[in-house]
Amino acid sequence: MNKIKIIILLLCSCVVLPVQAQKVSLVVNTWPPYVDAALPDDGLAMKIVKTAFKRAGYTPKVRIEKWEKALEGSELGVYDIVGAVWKTKARQKKLLYSNSYLTNNIVLIAHTDSNIEFNSLNDLQGAIVGVLKDYEYDDKFMKDPKILKFQANRLTQNLIAVQQGKLDLAVADRRLALYELKHFMGNNRSKFRFLAKPLSSRKLYIAAPIQNAESKTLIAKFNQGLAAIKKDGTYQKILDEYTF
């Protein structure tokens, strides 16, 4: 073999191919403005989660399912990550949680003509309050038998009922309420007011099945990516894009 061929072979052996980002599967349920295929980057929560994973060297793939299927699939390890979830004792038995990446302020919404105020659960006794199915609200609120709860599938249903006087209050995440008031209530938006004190606040996380051997690594990498986008201002820019 002549010297030219040897040099060519040596040069070829030194070529470093680009490292492909590892894929990570995310499952979520529709929950505007946090998760919605109709919103840019699938919504606020998904943009944060995907950006953090990309910063950590992963290529995220999002699948939107009904909540029961999303949670069950993530707990069984069908998906790597459930992308937007609140922490409960029951879920912690099956899921490993990340650092929180958003705070959900759960608020009470009244008609502007209503004089109802909220300082403690005693103020809500006897009230008819609209809640949403499958939400993990404050335990004391949900278990209080003197607070009447009406369940609905969509917040808009409860807002219309408040407007019509069929409900005293509606309970919702503040961003969700602002989003639905803007997009679905039109000129009627001015007929609603947020009570000053939130019912509760909940932290939002990603979570991975404990049984998956890669879960600890995925959670650690996400936490690193999240810290990085917070440090360089990317996180705040994402928040600023989703105001209603």
Residue 186 binned pLDDT confidence (cut-offs 50, 70, 90): confident
pLDDT-derived band at 15 (thresholds 50, 70, 90) equals: very low
Give the up-direction half-sphere exposure of residue 143: CA atoms within 13 A in the CB hemisphere: 3
Query: What torsion do the CA atoms of 122, 126, 132, 138 make, to the nearest 10 degrees?
Result: 20
Domains of the chain, first to last: 21-102+202-241 (3.40.190.10), 105-200 (3.40.190.10)
- In the chain, what percentage of residues exceed pLDDT 90? 77
Give the predicted TM-score (pTM) of the model.
0.85
Choose among 202, 188, 173: nearest CA to 109. Answer: 173
Percentage of the residues of the chain whose pLDDT score is greater than 70: 91
pLDDT top residue among 86 and 11:
86
pLDDT digits (tens, 9 = 90+) for 134-173: 787 888 999 999 999 999 999 999 999 999 999 999 999 9
Cα–Cα distance for residue pair 39/50, rounded to 1 Å: 14
Q: Return the pLDDT at 157.
A: 96
Both tokens of 203, joined, read 């932290």
Place 77 in a pLDDT band, splitting at 50, 70 and 90: confident
> Beta 169-173 vs 128-132: how paired, if at all?
parallel
Q: Which amino acid is at 107?
A: V
Q: What is the rounded radius of gyration, in angstroms, for the C-alpha atoms of the chain?
A: 23
CA distance 94 to 78: 13
* Each residue's pLDDT tens digit, 28-76: 999 999 999 999 999 999 999 999 999 999 999 999 998 888 888 877 8
Residue 185's pLDDT is 87
212-233 pLDDT per residue, tens: 999 999 999 999 999 999 999 9
